[in-house]
Structure 1
Amino acid sequence: MAATNLSSYMAVKRRLLDMFRSETFPGNKLPPEDQLAKRLGISLVTLREALMMLTLEGYLTKRHGVGNFIHPSALDPTNRVDQGFSFADTFRRNGRTPGMKMLFLGIEPASPALAERLQVQPESLLQRYETIYTADDHPGVFTISRLSLDLVKRPFRPEEQNWYIHECIWDHCGKKLAHSLNDYQAVAADEKVAALFELPKGTPLLYCEQLFYDVQDVPVLLNVHYFHPQHYGMRVLQNWNIGAQS
């Protein structure tokens, strides 16, 4: 596991979001922060960090000297890809049972295009693995992952279920991921993807290239995702309240 407080932050965030969804607050205003921290059994500092992140993510507005206000419209989890860190999170929020299976695990030489993106030498060896993510046993996302074989300290195994990529890369490579750049486009399903998704060849699909960087801003992992049009949707909340003054 990575040496990070991400897991504890996510736990506090989930508790707060569960509270927001299950309770009604007059005027959508939260109780005072000291009361809320005591109720949750956490420090005021931890609570304020979590509230700050939830504000940046668009769930709350903080009005200085007044309090914190919930946005119920932002709490609808349906297809919110910005709420979690794995496809399992999205499937569960939609009331579906997630599953995953590694379909392929092997080594391949880096093509010139892949070498440029991953900043390795052409023809150097890459670890490649392919994974299908399911919702209620229906194919939802097909992913092809590639990284330099030189980074792999503990071998990947087909039976492993690595839902959280930051934990997976730390566990196998000892690398801390800092961010990813995600490029989306529409593509036509090729023969392989069409067969996996049980769709006609040429069906329009949403496709994403996701390049992960470590804390030194060095590219570590390149994922390409194909999304089933019936089993994986996308909704992103865009927060327009950044820097707003009350």
Structure 2
Amino acid sequence: MRTLALRGGARVAVVAAEWHDAFGVVTRGRVQLELRDGEPGPVLGRDAGFWLRGTGVRALRNPGRRTARVRVVTPGAGTATCQSTHPVRQWRNDMNSMNDTGVVTGPAPGRTGRTPRFRGLVGTGLAATLAATAATTLAAALARAAGVGFEIPESGETIPLAGFAVVTGLFSVVGLVIAVALLRWSARPAGRFVWTAVSLTAVSLLPPFLVGADTATTVALLGLHLVPAAVMIPALARSLRTRSVVG
């Protein structure tokens, strides 16, 4: 019998030699099963028992912040040492076995198994970026049609519609990069992303007051800062929650 400790956000590949005919019981925290294709699987709570033979599970991950522990019992170790105060709940999924040879091997060296999740997040982010850029440019066009000049006295220039599109697209991509980084390194990517994005949005509301524009332009610029935030933040936060499976 051995005990596997997973720190918050840690990921451990399933190695054949270590899990052959072994039975695991979560004794502390929660453990998420990572499936063969890199997608997040079920999250097992305390006293949940599982076998990994023939399941298509290739890694164990701690989706929480506190250390999780798994007690691993091999056939020769006996079952008496794996007692719990609650009935053990078992999990097995032969639907993902895909003609396994009997054990699940770890991923190739250097691979994290997160590529599918990153692709999904990037796809969502790029779609949200296009939507945010279109919405902001349309809002700017409507404001200009209503009489807002978008003149900046300090430079003597007028902000063109293309300028709104370029700036919105640029900062939306920056937000996507932040989301990808948090998914990779944070145990709570969705919550941290919302906090970071809202903070940056609040900071971005300061420049319109500093350029010396008239009231109409200032108000319009404030609104145009909020439009992409209203599109990007919910979309990326929802995608992060789906892919991190953090409760």
Band of TM-score, shorter chain: under 0.3
Using structure 1 for the length normalisation, give the TM-score: 0.26
Could you say which structure has the higher helix fraction? 2
Tell me the TM-score normalized by structure 2: 0.26
